[in-house]
Copies of this chain bind each other. A is one copy, B any other.
């Protein structure tokens, strides 16, 4: 459990994810933790919260997620843009991403995959349905615990536009 983070209500986690921020997915397989960057996911239910995420079978994290059925979805802000891209451009097959990019692995509370301490929110998840994995690399997850930094929102999340271009979260409006 992360001492510097506070718990965030499970049934509000869609508010952190439905705007489409780049996320960093952590797994832990046979004691080896890894990180991948990702934008292809969606909330599919809010209470209890469920997500659908796509992790290609080409990714090193695919095997870890499929075997352990656990991951953490960590949400970085623009301060971590460069490290997030580095995580996306390298493979856990070759590098220890926590060590190489100077990121802190904190213990999660309900899964073995670690939280990334530098990310402002961390969403602990368990895989509950793998029926769409073979055909679409699509995993259905249930969110089991959410942590957030005790700071004011909104956060400057980053949103992938393709290639090396990212949109940084702009002004908040009420409509």
Residues of A at the B interface (CB closer than 8 Å) are 12, 14-15, 18-21, 39-45, 50, 52-54, 78, 81-82, 84-85, 129, 131-132, 135-138, 140, 154, 156-162, 164-175
Please, which residues of chain B bring their CB within 8 A of the CB of A50?
136
Interface secondary structure of A, over-half rule: strand
> Chain B residue with minimal CB distance to A43?
B40
Q: State whether A19 touches B39 (Cβ < 8 A).
A: yes
Given A45-B136, A167-B172, A168-B170: A160 touches B19 (CB 8 Å cut-off): yes
Nearest-neighbour CB distance to chain B for A88, whole angstroms, equals: 9
Q: State whether A41 touches B42 (Cβ < 8 A).
A: yes
Q: State whether A175 touches B82 (Cβ < 8 A).
A: yes
Question: Beyond the given A156-B170, A158-B173, could you list 7 further A-B residue pairs with CB under 8 A, ordered by the A residue number?
Answer: A18-B39, A40-B44, A42-B52, A81-B173, A84-B175, A131-B132, A167-B169
Docked complex Cα distance between A172 and B168 (Å): 6
